[in-house]
Amino acid sequence: MTPLRINVSSDVPQREALLAAASRIHNLVVVDSEAEADAIVACGDLGKWPKDLPVLQLGELSTNAPTNVYPALPNRFDPHAQAIRRRLDAGDLGKPGLVRLHVWNPASDTLNQRNKIDAIDLVQWLIGEDIESSFGTQSQANQVIHLGFVSGAMALIDFYDHLPADDRYRSLTVVGSDGAAYADDHRDRNLFFASGGMNAKPPATGHACLGPMLEDFASRMNDRDDATHAQRAYRAAETIVKQLLP
Amino acid sequence: MNPTDRKKPLIRAAVLSVVKHDYLPRAFAAHPRFDLVLVTDDADRPQWTHERNEAFAKEIGIPYLTNPEQAFAEFELDAVIVSPEAERHCALAVRAAEAGLHVVIDKPLSTRLDECDRLISALEKNGVQCLVWNRNYLPALVQAKEALDSGDVGTLSSIHCDFYFAKDAGPPLGSMPEGSPPIDWLERQLEAHADGSDGGVGTEPMGELQVEGIYPLAYIHLLTGGAKVRRVMARTTSHFHQAHADNHVDDLATVTLELENGVVATLCIGRIGAAAHPDIGEIKLHLIGDRGAAVISEARPEVACYHRNQPALQFKHERVADENNYLLAENFALVIDGTESPMLSARDARDICATVLAALESSRTGKPAEVHHL
């Protein structure tokens, strides 16, 4: 198989991490110019990119994005989410009935609209159905989204971005008819006692989604897949965010 | 809580039916301020109820009398411990209150607001106290409350609760042969008594929100300082168990609650099956205040034990230092002494019943529902 040649735009915030991830992927080669590339990884400014090249877009998807632009949907490639999805695909958990997701960031890393779209996309992707109903509410610093899915499945997501600096908390629970999976930073934390205090920190997995995300993109390019399905998932999540968290 | 005053006279208590949870009367049998005097229940109850009542009375070494009013009149009682089928909770408790007896009542208080209101009226008219069973003295809940009281988290603005009981409830949904008759609720609950998963015992089918919802909603009540729930949005379904589907009650629910003072809460609750967790279930609290946040596991502290030939259904993590039952009995003694308020009063539990009913209404209509308080 000929490796996919990608060009990583300079506007990508995690560019170094992305290049490092790409260097490990057998069927992917990073090239320096758009002219040499089969595809582009970019963050924003869609109009700038050649219309005939596929684009993996990490930033917000513009309203008139053509079908060569793939929204990145990075949360699907988080290692915890991947592990749960494998168990769902294997049938170990049965039919998903509930997804509970807590997304907490420090004040220094405010959750933006794209972060919230990605969170809703993750829930949709795990349940594998269309959203039937939605409800949102919030307290001072905490936004809540309550979703219902066509077959009766349900989800609760909450967003909070006032944790202390450098801290971060994620908790993802999927309850299926035959079992449940719990991916929770509460379980993942290790204890460090130093300087008269105690810290509980999870091992870093911040960029672990990038490699699988690029591999998936390369695979889609190889299969000549277009971005219709990914765009549809993105738009469904975007609609919820715009309706409930304006 | 101050320790029990052992110089005070013993509180003479009757067990007013023990067909559901014998851990209630056991808590009082073990507490030094209480003297369990007898077990009583109505003579016209089904045989299985008499068998359970008699078995408990025999084990404790106290009589079983099939005439509660006679027991109230002749045994110089101070209090009753009420744990019948859920649909009889309030009716039995009202009779005890009318006889001037203090009441400890199993959860849930009721599935009907008029029953709750009738009990509250009887309690207040007769000047007697009532404690509704709860889990608010579990060590992790005490820790959560202390964290809030210390000011470390600041003023609470959100609280998220997961309350999954990893228990089975008969055949999994869809596993019965085609054409099978619907599962009889009471028969299923009687079978479940052996492993203690019969919290909904009775003839009236009850969903998980109605059976267990009082526990996490009592956590929310405790940690918000008794803030009233104004509006709820909920979804419910029968996702796991044929018995729940056949009887049109939920075994999985999500609830968003809007409380007074701008506090928001959510609850995920389900009877998710024994395979879905190595222990009793994932039960957690996420607290957000204006100065900090906390993530609390209700199970802690616990000891992990794994061994050869371990029974499949034995919990792998054993909870330790759990004094909830003792402390509830202690709380009730102090309530009777007049020095404390009940950890969960009949009025509190009535508000929780109203919240559950609003959640079920919301699930039916697909719209938010107002909660009707007294």
Angstrom distance (rounded) from CA B311 to CA B309 = 6
Angstrom distance (rounded) from CA B149 to CA B155 = 9
| Interchain proximity A98–B286, CB inside 8 Å | no
Angstrom distance (rounded) from CA B181 to CA B189 = 16
Q: What average pLDDT score do residues A30-37 get? A: 93
| Interchain proximity B239–A138, CB inside 8 Å | no
Write out chain A residues lying below 8 Å of B293, CB-based.
Answer: 104, 160, 162-163, 169
Amino acid identity of residue B82, one-letter, is V
DSSP SS3 for A237: helix
Closest-approach residue (CA) in chain A for B158: A139
Chain A interface, best mutation among B288, B290, B300, B367, by max A CB count within 10 A: B288
Q: Which two tokens stand for residue B140?
A: 């992790």
Q: What average pLDDT score do residues A179-194 get? A: 95
Amino acid B4: pLDDT: 81
Closest CA to B39 of B71, B22, B11, B64: B64
**The complex's ipTM?**
0.95
Q: What is the pLDDT of residues A193-240, one digit of tens each?
A: 988 888 898 898 878 999 999 999 999 998 888 899 999 999 999 999
Sign of the dihedral defined by the CA atoms of residues A86, A89, A93, A98, in that order: positive
pLDDT mean across residues, chain B: 96
Q: How confident is the model at residue A45 (pLDDT cuts 50, 70, 90)?
A: low
| Interchain proximity A178–B239, CB inside 8 Å | no
Chain B interface, best mutation among A87, A103, A156, A187, by max B CB count within 10 A: A156
Q: Which two tokens stand for residue B308?
A: 């050869």
- Asked whether residue A46 carries a pLDDT value surpassing 70, the answer given is no
Write out chain A residues lying below 8 Å of B235, CB-based.
Answer: 133, 146, 148, 152, 154
Identify the helix (H) or strand (E) that includes residue A32. none
Q: Which stretches of chain B score pLDDT less than 70?
A: none
Closest CA to A52 of A42, A41, A63, A66: A66
% residues pLDDT > 90 (chain B): 94
A193 Cβ contact partners less than 8 Å away, ≥ 6 residues apart? none
Closest CA to B332 of B131, B133, B136: B131
Q: What is the pLDDT of residues A153-174, one digit of tens each?
A: 999 999 999 998 888 999 999 9
Q: How confident is the model at residue A47 (pLDDT cuts 50, 70, 90)?
A: low
Is residue B232 within 8 A of residue B355, CB to CB? The reply is yes
B interface toward A at CB cutoff 8 Å? 157-158, 160, 162, 164, 166, 172-173, 233, 235, 237, 239-240, 252, 254, 256, 258, 262-264, 266, 268, 270, 272-273, 275-277, 282, 284, 286, 288, 290, 292-293, 295, 297, 366, 368
Write out chain A residues lying below 8 Å of B268, CB-based.
Answer: 98, 100, 156, 173, 175
Please confirm whether the linkage preceding B108 is cis (ω < 30° from 0): yes
DSSP secondary structure letters along B27-96: HHHHSTTEEEEEEE--TTS-HHHHHHHHHHHHHHT--EES-HHHHHHHTT-SEEEEES-GGGHHHHHHHH
Q: How confident is the model at residue A49 (pLDDT cuts 50, 70, 90)?
A: low
Amino acid identity of residue A184, one-letter, is D
**Chain A nearest CA to B157, separation (Å):** 6
Amino acid A207: pLDDT: 87
Give the Å distances, CA to CA, from B41 to A162, B54, B60.
55, 10, 16
